Amino acid sequence: MSENTNKVGKRKKNRYPATDYERIFHPRTLAILGVSAEEGGVGFGTGMLKSIMAMGFEGKIFPVNPKGGNISGLEIYKRVEDIPEKVDFAIIAVAARWVPASLEACLKIGVAGAEILSSGFSELGTAEGRELEKQIQEIAARGIRVVGPNCFGIYCPASGLTMLPGPDLSRQSGPVAFLAQSGGMSIDFAHTGKWLGVRFSKMVSFGNGADLREAELLNHLARDPETKVISMYIEGIKDGDAFFREIKAAASKKPVIVFKGGLSHAGARSVASHTASMGGSRVIWQSILKQAGAIQVNDTEELAQVNLAFSLLPHRSFKSISVTGGGGAIGVTACDTAEKYGMDIPSLYPELQARIENVLPRPGSSAINPIDVANPFVGPEVLKEALLAAAQDDRIELQIIVSLLFHYKTIARMFGKPVSEVAPYRELAQAVRDVVDQTGKPVIAVLPNVKKGLDDMDITELIALTRQEYMNHGIPVFDELHDAVRAIAHMNTYYGRRKHEKR
Amino acid sequence: MSENTNKVGKRKKNRYPATDYERIFHPRTLAILGVSAEEGGVGFGTGMLKSIMAMGFEGKIFPVNPKGGNISGLEIYKRVEDIPEKVDFAIIAVAARWVPASLEACLKIGVAGAEILSSGFSELGTAEGRELEKQIQEIAARGIRVVGPNCFGIYCPASGLTMLPGPDLSRQSGPVAFLAQSGGMSIDFAHTGKWLGVRFSKMVSFGNGADLREAELLNHLARDPETKVISMYIEGIKDGDAFFREIKAAASKKPVIVFKGGLSHAGARSVASHTASMGGSRVIWQSILKQAGAIQVNDTEELAQVNLAFSLLPHRSFKSISVTGGGGAIGVTACDTAEKYGMDIPSLYPELQARIENVLPRPGSSAINPIDVANPFVGPEVLKEALLAAAQDDRIELQIIVSLLFHYKTIARMFGKPVSEVAPYRELAQAVRDVVDQTGKPVIAVLPNVKKGLDDMDITELIALTRQEYMNHGIPVFDELHDAVRAIAHMNTYYGRRKHEKR
């Protein structure tokens, strides 16, 4: 049934336990152990129950609490064993000392996997905590896969599983899988992805990683047809050799993007208190990731931006680009940024420059490339013509359009209308989509905003509206030109290396 | 009367013409040449008149147009010579071919300086354009200082002068002066400064820089008591020796922050078409700026952030810091970022850790430093106690507090209230202000936001509200921890170097 089960027979060696990932990521039946028996309870179990209901999970949910009762219109079962159906997946949110017994009960009734949200294990650094975690590992080894403990769980938009606290994550599936020990890093990325346009196949915050963790999950995701891009935030790893083997294998099949935390001396100390694993030195990690063919990013913003580029752009490198925008300094900045990241902004062929000059306002415009449209109110039809013409230059592989929409506030004020009525953002997004369709060359939109104060919330909303419009057309949007160019540079590194390897 | 006039006598050599900067930056009487004689005109002159009125300029405005008439309740004078009062400053927005005669007329009636918004001069690259610009220079040399042509003009919050299109810039004065050829770069920074909290003494976009430009303006700003920090965006310079001499002299008195554009090959080409001056190579510029003791930044965001730090923090370096926030990955990230920029996050003295542990929730918190408050809903009074305690560690020179206010959306949803009612942002800002007052050590606030979509505009507004609250208390706010740490690193470079030089 699951992709993993099907392939187990074909592998030369069963390195990992047979695991029914289908029942774990797409459960039809779900037990939640540790909901509150009283109305108004606010524990993790109750929170997760409400979040999963808010997400519109389509399967059956079986809440469990020894006191029984009802919650959110569902009967609470006193024991896991009382649940009248086969249970695919369990969410365990009971106190640490009750976790082993709860997991044992899940194993007994044939649950495929469980996420343990509870904390109070090895991360405490106590003998008790370590002992409890060891018990989890022993039970898991007898046939139930465990995510956690001390984690925020699994987010899978297709099935409606969500991680803590997560009642408002996107239900749209997409190409990106994300792995992290840190629950906070995971839920933050899930939210950032929602508005930025990064869509996920699945996200796993595995906390202490007592059972399922980085190497084995990488092995699965490399073969997962729903996943086209793998991303991870790593603090420490358990088995360096296994990790290197799996990340290298995964990166040979799909892009693997890594944000490594805990690279500093003090960071490693902080990692130890956060997830009970060791960090490592900056240089070693850079070298390991490069050898593995993975892409290393340096912060959460870069992580999100690079995933956006890999998600929405064709799977190739882009060495020569055009940049179109209003205002000369944009052109200068574009050239500087492109050169810094190893890209060219070639002067367009003269006949194309002439064609673009024909439609641009004078004076102050330039059709050379960067294409300076001289004022920020140049209409979508003019921008479309400029982009269509620039795409005729056979060297141009990707186009960037920078729109300073905040300037429309001046027009809005002049005509006494809302800025979202005077800025042609729908037409702009449609024009860009048309250009991509007609030329077959991708376009990236950049929407800077210098007006982010309380007086200008209408501008902030206009930018958000425009971003959504572009997202609906499948066009990636970045806040700043620099972010876009840096993200493309990572694609160039990845696909450039693969091309080289194939020779 | 002006600061410059007073000091001219003391200088050994009159390197620059005597200039009444007081009448230029703080004019009491202002002529605007080139307003539209018809109602509803939209030229630069009319736009500037309306913007200056919207800014609440307190002096007298004399619009000029050969056709006469009235505009916005003001009499239009047919000739500059008809204006019945002494005119301090003139704004010239007539067609390029009429600019020399207009400027000559201003000189004749004793105007101290003029900004020429009109384009059509050397930036065209034509013999005509160059000739017209030469005429401007010749008239200027006979006793009127010129800003421009092909510029957006001067912004001076104290006097109400504003640059194109600028009807909505801040009237609050502050320590930062900004110079740029590029008008777009200038007005964008003015807007960014408004919401970020960077306040300006004066801003000059000098376009082609026919008369007043970088070296001479640096010389003035170094002596200007209103200016504590000098910032510039440079594309090209006219006289390298003069520039180096003046920037070095200025940087020995106050911080000078430079964003150099046109560092790339293609960028230099783009500079040539933008402002008719030459760029230069990356390495040469880095070396020149370092030798001069100036701070080099790489993009507009960094420019704004560094100015914010220099504006609001004590004038010194900060090597050891504390970081307080909720969520373990923040601590890891803080350590990594601090180390990258050469700062320490020392483990606090044990007795201070114990004091902080006393008030933090368990489990999951850490009082070592970074101080992990374990959940984002820890109240202002707890955060205040943690910051007060950490400040008792004599090694800590600056504190950073990271608040993940977006999490309050969960609480707001639970209680069915607006997020701005459930998030204690006023109390938070007040608590931080109290800590600074009681400890004498500065605190920086960081307000990340992972919820920027259309569904979460209330969060975006909450962040803007909180930023304003902090701004009112004089506390600098950054979007991301990385931005804050990088800005402090620039302060460390500047003040570290000065300390070294003084020995």
Q: Which of residues 22-81 of B touch A (CB under 8 A)?
A: none
Tell me which residue range forms the domain holding B415.
314-502
Q: Do B332 and A262 touch (CB under 8 A)?
A: yes
pLDDT at A338 over 80: yes
Quick: pLDDT tens for A253-285.
999 999 999 877 666 666 555 554 545 678 888
> A225 in contact with B at a CB cutoff of 8 Å?
no
* ipTM here: 0.90
Please indicate, yes or no, whether residues B264 and B298 belong to a single structural domain of this protein: yes
How many Å lie between the alpha carbon of A189 and the closest alpha carbon of chain B?
Answer: 8
Q: Which of residues 396-415 of B touch A (CB under 8 A)?
A: 406, 409-410, 413
Pairing of strands A153-155, A200-205: antiparallel
Please indicate, yes or no, whether residues B261 and B337 belong to a single structural domain of this protein: no
Which contiguous run of DSSP H or E holds residue A257?
Answer: strand A256-260
**Tokens describing residue B420:** 């701005």
Q: Do B368 and A335 touch (CB under 8 A)?
A: no
Average pLDDT, chain B: 92
> A379 in contact with B at a CB cutoff of 8 Å?
no
> Amino acid identity, residue B93?
A
Q: Do B336 and A263 touch (CB under 8 A)?
A: yes
Instruction: Specify the CATH number for the domain of residue A143.
Output: 3.40.50.261
Task: Residue A337: list chain B partners with CB under 8 A.
Answer: 299
The dihedral through the CA atoms of B171, B175, B179, B185 has a sign that is negative
Pairing of strands B70-71, B74-75: antiparallel
How many Å lie between the alpha carbon of A425 and the closest alpha carbon of chain B?
Answer: 15
> B168 in contact with A at a CB cutoff of 8 Å?
yes
Please indicate, yes or no, whether residues A372 and A264 belong to a single structural domain of this protein: no
B339 vs A185, A267, B321, B349, B492, CA distance in Å? 20, 9, 11, 20, 13
**Dist CA A19 CA A24 (whole Å):** 9
Which residues have a Cβ under 8 Å from the Cβ of A369 and sit 6 or more positions away? A322, A323, A345, A346, A347, A348, A390
Please indicate, yes or no, whether residues B100 and B246 belong to a single structural domain of this protein: yes
How many Å lie between the alpha carbon of B222 and the closest alpha carbon of chain A?
Answer: 26
Is the Cβ–Cβ distance between B457 and B378 less than 8 Å?
A: no
Q: Which of A335, A340, A409 is closest, CB to CB, to B270?
A: A335
Please indicate, yes or no, whether residues B386 and B278 belong to a single structural domain of this protein: no
> B329 in contact with A at a CB cutoff of 8 Å?
yes
The side-by-side arrangement of strands in the sheet containing B256-260 is B153-155, B200-205, B173-180, B229-234, B256-260, B295-297
A355 vs A326, A348, A358, A377, A388, CA distance in Å? 18, 11, 5, 20, 10
How many Å lie between the alpha carbon of B481 and the closest alpha carbon of chain A?
Answer: 10
- Token pair 């239009």 is found at B76
Per cent of chain A over pLDDT 90 is: 82
Assign A434 to helix, strand or coil. helix
Task: Residue B268: list chain A partners with CB under 8 A.
Answer: 335
Quick: pLDDT tens for B405-444.
999 998 898 899 999 999 999 999 999 999 999 999 999 9
**Dist CA A315 CA A15 (whole Å):** 31
Domain final residue pick, A279, A310, A341: A310
Q: Which of B274, B334, B452 is closest, CB to CB, to A195?
A: B452
Residue of B nearest to A452 (CA): B195
pLDDT at B8 over 50: no
How many Å lie between the alpha carbon of A427 and the closest alpha carbon of chain B?
Answer: 19
Q: Mean pLDDT check: name the lowest of A362-366, B238-242, B418-422, B445-449.
A: A362-366
Is the Cβ–Cβ distance between A203 and A189 less than 8 Å?
A: yes
Q: Which of B189, B279, B457 is closest, CB to CB, to A461?
A: B457
Q: Which of B182, B333, B468 is closest, CB to CB, to A454?
A: B468
Closest by CA to B388, choosing from B402, B375, B371, B404, is B371
Please indicate, yes or no, whether residues A189 and A57 belong to a single structural domain of this protein: yes
Q: Do B267 and A327 touch (CB under 8 A)?
A: no
pLDDT at B274 over 70: no
> A8 in contact with B at a CB cutoff of 8 Å?
no
**Dist CA B88 CA B180 (whole Å):** 23
Quick: pLDDT tens for B112-121.
999 999 999 9
pLDDT at B1 over 60: no
Domain final residue pick, A276, A310, A344: A310
Quick: pLDDT tens for A438-453.
999 999 999 999 999 9
**Dist CA A446 CA A487 (whole Å):** 13
Q: Which of residues 127-166 of B touch A (CB under 8 A)?
A: 165
Residue A373 phi, psi dihedral angles, 5° rounding: -85, 5
Domain final residue pick, B310, B337, B358: B310
3-state helix, strand and coil shares in percent for chain A, rounded to the nearest 5: 45, 15, 40
Quick: pLDDT tens for B61-72.
999 999 999 999
- Name the band, by pLDDT with cuts 50, 70 and 90, for residue B91: very high
Angle, helix B282-292 to helix B240-251, in steps of 10 degrees: 40
Quick: pLDDT tens for A291-322.
999 999 999 999 999 999 999 999 999 999 99
Q: Do B191 and A451 touch (CB under 8 A)?
A: yes
Please indicate, yes or no, whether residues B301 and B325 belong to a single structural domain of this protein: no
DSSP structure string for A319-352: -BEEEEESSHHHHHHHHHHHHHTT-B-PPPPHHH
Would you state the pLDDT for residue B41? 64
Would you state the pLDDT for residue A503? 43
Residue of A nearest to B264 (CA): A336
Q: Do B453 and A194 touch (CB under 8 A)?
A: yes
How many Å lie between the alpha carbon of A133 and the closest alpha carbon of chain B?
Answer: 17
Best probe of the B interface among A308, A332, A455, by most B CBs < 10 A, is A332
Q: Which of A327, A363, A368 is closest, CB to CB, to B184?
A: A327
Q: Which of A167, A271, A464 is closest, CB to CB, to B332?
A: A271
Task: Residue A279: list chain B partners with CB under 8 A.
Answer: 332
**Dist CA A361 CA A327 (whole Å):** 12
> A441 in contact with B at a CB cutoff of 8 Å?
no
Please indicate, yes or no, whether residues B252 and B352 belong to a single structural domain of this protein: no
Please indicate, yes or no, whether residues B110 and B242 belong to a single structural domain of this protein: yes
Please indicate, yes or no, whether residues A262 and A398 belong to a single structural domain of this protein: no
Please indicate, yes or no, whether residues A261 and A297 belong to a single structural domain of this protein: yes
Residue of B nearest to A404 (CA): B188
CB burial string A277-311: b at 16+ within 10 A, e below: bebbebeebeebbeebbbbbbebbbbbbbbbbbbb
Closest by CA to B219, choosing from B19, B493, B490, is B19
Would you state the pLDDT for residue B9? 44
- Token pair 């409400």 is found at A50
Would you state the pLDDT for residue B282? 79
* Chain length of chain B: 503
Task: Residue B168: list chain A partners with CB under 8 A.
Answer: 409, 455
Quick: pLDDT tens for B29-57.
999 999 987 766 668 899 999 999 999 99
**Dist CA B333 CA A424 (whole Å):** 40
Q: How many helices (H) and strands (E) does chain A have?
A: 19, 18
Is the Cβ–Cβ distance between A442 and A308 less than 8 Å?
A: no
Q: Do A457 and B461 touch (CB under 8 A)?
A: yes
pLDDT at A74 over 80: yes
Q: Which of A165, A268, A301 is closest, CB to CB, to B410?
A: A165
> A125 in contact with B at a CB cutoff of 8 Å?
no
Q: Do B328 and A452 touch (CB under 8 A)?
A: no
Best probe of the B interface among A270, A324, A340, by most B CBs < 10 A, is A270
> B188 in contact with A at a CB cutoff of 8 Å?
yes
Would you state the pLDDT for residue A433? 98
> A192 in contact with B at a CB cutoff of 8 Å?
yes
Number of domains making up chain B: 2
Residue B188 phi, psi dihedral angles, 5° rounding: -65, -40
Q: Do A168 and B368 touch (CB under 8 A)?
A: no
The count of CB pairs under 8 A between chains A and B is 206
Please indicate, yes or no, whether residues B245 and B336 belong to a single structural domain of this protein: no
Task: Residue A232: list chain B partners with CB under 8 A.
Answer: none
> A264 in contact with B at a CB cutoff of 8 Å?
yes
Q: Which of B261, B263, B455 is closest, CB to CB, to A329?
A: B261
pLDDT at A2 over 50: no
**Tokens describing residue B179:** 């110079």
Quick: pLDDT tens for B203-225.
999 999 999 999 999 999 999 99
Task: Residue B301: list chain A partners with CB under 8 A.
Answer: 480
How many Å lie between the alpha carbon of A12 and the closest alpha carbon of chain B?
Answer: 38
How many Å lie between the alpha carbon of A225 and the closest alpha carbon of chain B?
Answer: 28
